[in-house]
């Protein structure tokens, strides 16, 4: 068995490597080529964001394509560029804009993996007669006794990207490989230096690729002109505190930039605790109003065995990529919808984000946060006249 878990020599194993032009995917391709595999590099030209973000450049294009091609040429394996601009805009960017207009906080990187990279790119890899497709994600793939792939957190916990891959299907996981899963970022860069790759010192991308300056509101305004309207900023006790220029400028848990004279009322710091697109209201309140211990999920993707309806399954969950897993219980209600009860309240849970379930380091699956409740702070809720904090999304 070779290092990719296949019963054939590396030279007879074709591996399509998804190359973004960054150091991680570059090292993945160079390392597999060095090990004797039949490597084919593919870079997706996703979107020229200069047309609406007011910036020069592109996502997975321009310099990124040049860098990926440079790596392929230096190592001596073929490299192809596929134009996926229309697919990326429809599947990722439009969804990103519409999600914010619904009062959600989206994760476009998950959508990109789910709808573009691990769907259409995998199809292309199969058309090229690839045995597997490899990426530069910091995550591990193990095989069970039946040869089925299991998704496991990467060795480097600071770089682990399993949270972003929860939507990977079992069929996709069986075809995917993650050669960097047992490596640290320091080791990856050392290999890039050893191979003499142009990407060795290339910095990691920090922002959403199609929002180069971090101003996502500007992007949404250009994508959905006329769809953004101002409204009221209201306290959870019903008081109207001010006006806003669009709910897209706010996220759950936000404290700064509320436009309320420092964000405090009667000496109490205020946070965004809810967004109501149906009334165009931004709801604010004290930090304790952010606490949530019950989460309802939608579009859950199981990579492990799902519990029976009504059966409690002890797990750990992450609701932010950088969050350490926290203890919880997941169960399917009578309608088969996953519900998660946290062992302790979590602050700043937002619809549109993901909740990923773990059994140790193994990813059991994950889904999108649809709604949240607070059952642990009933005594606090009773202090609010005719207001139910748990009803605020």
Predicted local distance difference test score (pLDDT) of residue 56: 41
Last residue of a domain, one of 175, 195, 215: 195
- Whether residue 129 is found in the same domain as residue 158: yes
Predicted local distance difference test score (pLDDT) of residue 48: 59
Domain residue limits at 280: 229-285
- Whether residue 134 is found in the same domain as residue 43: yes
- Whether residue 248 is found in the same domain as residue 311: no
- Whether residue 278 is found in the same domain as residue 330: no
DSSP 62-78: THHHHHHHHHHHHHT--
Predicted local distance difference test score (pLDDT) of residue 387: 45
Contacts of 75 (CB under 8 A, 6+ apart): 29, 30, 33, 34, 39, 195
Are 336 and 360 spatial neighbours (Cβ–Cβ below 8 Å)? no
CATH number at residue 364: 2.40.30.10
Last residue of a domain, one of 153, 176, 195: 195
Measured in degrees and rounded to the nearest 5, phi and psi for residue 210 equal -95, 10
CA 364 from chain center: how many Å?
A: 16
Domain-located, residue 177: yes
CATH number at residue 257: 2.30.30.280
DSSP state of 374: -
Predicted local distance difference test score (pLDDT) of residue 63: 84
Domain-located, residue 172: yes
Domain-located, residue 207: no
- Rounded Cα–Cα distance for residues 221 and 143 (Å): 45
- Whether residue 374 is found in the same domain as residue 359: yes
The pLDDT tens digits for 18-44 are 999 999 999 999 999 999 999 999 998
Domain-located, residue 50: yes
Number of domains in the chain: 3
Give 10-residue mean pLDDT values along the chain (393 residues): 94 97 96 98 76 46 88 97 88 91 91 87 94 97 88 93 95 96 96 97 80 80 87 93 92 88 66 94 93 95 87 94 93 94 92 95 96 71 46 44
Predicted local distance difference test score (pLDDT) of residue 59: 53
- Whether residue 303 is found in the same domain as residue 271: no
Measured in degrees and rounded to the nearest 5, phi and psi for residue 144 equal -80, -175
The pLDDT tens digits for 209-218 are 788 677 888 8
**3-state secondary structure at position 291:** strand
- Whether residue 264 is found in the same domain as residue 306: no
Domain-located, residue 212: no
Residue 325, burial from CB neighbour count under 10 angstroms (0-12, 13-18, 19+): middle
- Rounded Cα–Cα distance for residues 349 and 355 (Å): 10
- Whether residue 277 is found in the same domain as residue 305: no
Max CA separation in the chain (angstroms): 71
Domain-located, residue 200: no
- Whether residue 181 is found in the same domain as residue 252: no
Residues designated as active site: 112, 209
- Whether residue 267 is found in the same domain as residue 300: no
Domain-located, residue 174: yes
Last residue of a domain, one of 239, 262, 285: 285
- Whether residue 261 is found in the same domain as residue 121: no
CATH number at residue 131: 3.40.50.620
Predicted local distance difference test score (pLDDT) of residue 347: 92
- Whether residue 254 is found in the same domain as residue 295: no
């Amino acid at each position: 068995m070779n290092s990719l878990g296949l019963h054939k020599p590396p030279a007879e194993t074709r591996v399509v490597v998804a190359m973004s032009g960054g150091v991680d995917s570059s090292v993945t391709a160079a390392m597999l080529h060095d090990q004797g595999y039949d490597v084919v590099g593919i870079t997706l030209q996703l979107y020229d964001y200069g047309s609406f973000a007011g910036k020069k450049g592109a996502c997975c294009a321009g310099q990124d394509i040049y860098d990926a091609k440079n790596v392929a040429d230096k190592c001596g394996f073929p490299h192809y560029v596929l134009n996926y601009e229309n697919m990326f805009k429809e599947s990722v960017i439009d969804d990103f804009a519409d999600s914010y207009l619904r009062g959600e906080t989206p994760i476009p990187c998950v959508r990109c993996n789910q709808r573009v990279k691990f769907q259409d790119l995998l199809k292309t890899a199969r058309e090229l007669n690839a045995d597997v497709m490899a990426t530069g994600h910091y995550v591990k793939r193990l095989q069970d006794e039946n040869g089925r792939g299991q998704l496991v957190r990467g060795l480097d916990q600071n770089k682990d990207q399993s949270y972003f891959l929860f939507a990977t299907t079992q069929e996709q996981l069986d075809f995917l490989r993650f050669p960097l899963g047992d490596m640290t970022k320091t080791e990856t860069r050392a290999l890039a230096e050893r191979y003499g790759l142009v990407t060795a010192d290339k910095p990691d991308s920090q922002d959403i690729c199609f929002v180069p300056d971090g101003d996502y509101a500007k992007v949404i305004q250009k994508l959905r002109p006329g769809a953004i309207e101002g409204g009221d900023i209201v306290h959870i006790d019903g008081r109207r505190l001010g006006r806003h220029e669009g709910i897209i400028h706010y996220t759950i848990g936000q404290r700064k930039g509320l436009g309320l004279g420092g964000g405090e009322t009667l000496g109490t710091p205020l946070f965004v605790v809810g967004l109501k697109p149906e009334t165009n209201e931004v709801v604010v309140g004290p930090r304790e109003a952010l606490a949530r211990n019950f989460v309802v999920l939608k579009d859950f993707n199981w990579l492990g065995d799902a519990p029976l309806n009504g059966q409690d399954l002890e797990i750990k969950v992450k609701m932010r990529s950088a969050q350490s897993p926290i203890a919880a219980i997941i169960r399917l209600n009578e309608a088969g919808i996953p519900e998660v009860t946290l062992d302790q309240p979590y602050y700043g849970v937002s619809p549109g984000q993901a909740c990923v379930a773990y059994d140790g380091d193994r990813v059991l699956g994950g889904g999108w946060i649809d709604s949240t409740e607070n059952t642990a702070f009933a005594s606090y809720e009773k202090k609010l006249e005719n207001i139910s904090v748990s009803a605020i999304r």
